[in-house]
Amino acid sequence: MSTIIAPKVPFKIQPEDEYPSSDGQPMAETEVHILALLHLFSALRFYFRHRQDVYVIGDMFLYYRQGNPHARKAPDIMVIKGIDATIRRRSYKLWEEGVPPSIVIELTSGQTKKEDIVTKPALYASLGIKEYFLFDPMYEYLDEQLIGYRMDAEGEYVIIEPDADGDLHSVELGLIFSIEDYLLRVVDPETGEYIPALDEAADRAAEAMQRAEQESQRAEQESQRAEQESQRAEQESQRAEQESQRAQEAEAEAARLRELLKKLGHNDAFE
């Protein structure tokens, strides 16, 4: 079994500047929100792990107006295509990068509900963010647990209609978002399977390794059994050859004795 290994690249770290990377306030979310966020973040990171032009980040300041450090948001998840993903950023400055996020995903809570459904859609649309998704892990604050917006030709957000399974499709990422309890799962449309989060990927890799080892052990055992069978067959063949040789020797000895007796005049004994 071959393993795809992403090429190692030298990471570049941005220096700190007048645009802070933190507001000094701790995250104040429930365990469910934190687990849902970590799962979604790691699944997207895993899916794009071999792409150096797709940047997946969470809870990072997005600065959108140069000269105004207060003009910022910290989306729960941003995915930006077409930039250098090998740079370790302290924040995302729109005027420096020149590329807005392709999509933003917010996990709604009681504290963020109003901003998530009123303020942020207008701002994100004005910044050119083509898709915006809202997910309510505990299904307490939104009319629908998962809501998606996509920018139309006029630059306005329109609702993304769910498919027959209730899932939402991201055109920007070519992926499907599906609800599983309090998690927002990422689905590969080519396989219909969930993209694993990093811990799931590690578990699957360990299971695959264990299966490979078991298969190797079974193959070794089969090889040993085949070798034993081959040895037994060789021994049987040797015994058969020895028996045949003894029979030939006995027949030759009997013929020799007959000839000897004939010479001695005892032919009648063999008639």
Closest CA to 197 of 92, 25, 58, 44: 44
**What was the pLDDT predicted at 25?**
58
Quick one: CA dihedral 49, 62, 175, 27, positive or negative? positive
The residues spanned by each domain of the chain are 12-195, 208-268
Residue 183 and residue 32 in contact, taking contact as beta carbons nearer than 8 Å:
no
Distances in Å between the alpha carbon of 154 and those of 79, 100, 191? Answer: 22, 17, 34
User: DSSP E strands: which ranges in 22-138?
Assistant: 54-57, 62-63, 72-73, 77-81, 87-88, 92-93, 103-107, 131-135
Domain 12-195: homologous superfamily in CATH: tt1808, chain A (3.90.1570.10)
Q: 103: alpha, beta or left, given left = phi > 0 and alpha = psi -120 to 50? A: beta
**How far, in Å, CA of 258 to CA of 251, rounded?**
11
Tens-digit pLDDT string for the chain (271 aa) = 444 444 455 556 666 667 767 655 555 578 899 999 999 999 999 999 999 999 999 999 999 999 999 999 999 999 999 999 999 999 999 999 999 999 999 999 888 899 999 999 999 999 999 999 999 999 999 999 999 999 999 999 999 999 999 999 999 999 999 999 999 999 999 999 999 986 665 565 555 566 666 676 676 778 778 788 888 878 888 887 888 888 787 788 778 878 777 877 755 554 5
**How far, in Å, CA of 187 to CA of 66, rounded?**
37
DSSP 29: -
